[in-house]
Chain A
Amino acid sequence: MNQTRATTADETRAMDRGKLLILCVVAWAIPGAGHLWQRQTLKGLVFLAILPLMFGLGLLFDGTLFSVAPTSQSILTTGAALAERGMGLPWLIAALAGAGAGEVVSPTYEYGWVFMVVAGLLNCLVILDARDLALGRK
C-alpha cells in the first residue's frame, strides 16, 4: 500500500517535472509565454512586447549575432553569444534569416549588440521567474 502511494507520488512529481520543463522551453522560445501560461497576463504581455522589441532594435542598430566558437574567440564573446541565444525564437528567426551580420564601423554597433545580449539575459530572468511561479515559490 505504502509502495503504491510512493509510486503514485513519484509519478506525480515526474509529471510535474515534465510539465515544468515544457513550461521553461515555451518561456524560452516565446518571451513572456511562461507567464501567460500561468495566467499572469499583464506580466506576460509586457515581456512579450518589450524583449523581442529590444532584440529587434539591437538588430536595427547594426548589432551582431555572435557565434559560439570558444576555441577561436574570447570567453566574453562566447558568453555574449550564449546570452543572445537566451532570446529563443526571435534569435532563431534572425539567425535563419541571416540577419545580424554586425556592422563594426557603424556608430551604433556597440549599442546594437548590447541591446541583443541584454534582451537574451533578461529573458533568462523571465524564465526563472516563470519557473518560480510554477513551483509556488512566488
Chain B
Amino acid sequence: MRSHFLMLVLFAIMVSTVFAVLQKDTPREQLRLGLMMAGAFLAFAYVSGWVMLAFPLW
C-alpha cells in the first residue's frame, strides 16, 4: 500500500478508536468521540497539506 492518504486514514481511525474507548464508557459516547477525533485528524491533515503547498522546500 503506497497511498499516503489511506495510511493517514488508517492511522486516524486506529488512534481515535483507542482514545475514544479509553476516555468514554458507553458505546454511544465512544462512537461520538471517535468520529469527532478521526474527523479532526483528517481535516487537520488535509488543511495543513494545502497550507504547506504555499511553502515549498527550497
Contacts and interface: CB of A to CB of B under 8 A. Distances in A.
B7 A108 contact: yes
Range for the number of chain A residues in contact with chain B: 20 to 34
Interface residues of B, number: 13
A50 B17 contact: yes
Interface string B30-43: 00000000000000
15 contacts: A43-B21, A43-B22, A47-B18, A47-B21, A50-B18, A61-B1, A107-B2, A108-B2, A111-B7, A111-B11, A122-B15, A122-B18, A125-B18, A126-B18, A129-B22
A82 to B, nearest CB: 19
Contacts, number: 36
A contact face: mostly helix, strand, loop, or mixed: helix
Contacts of A108: 1-2, 7
B49 interface: no
A124 B47 CA distance: 30
Among B2, B10, B21, max chain A CB count under 10 A is at B21
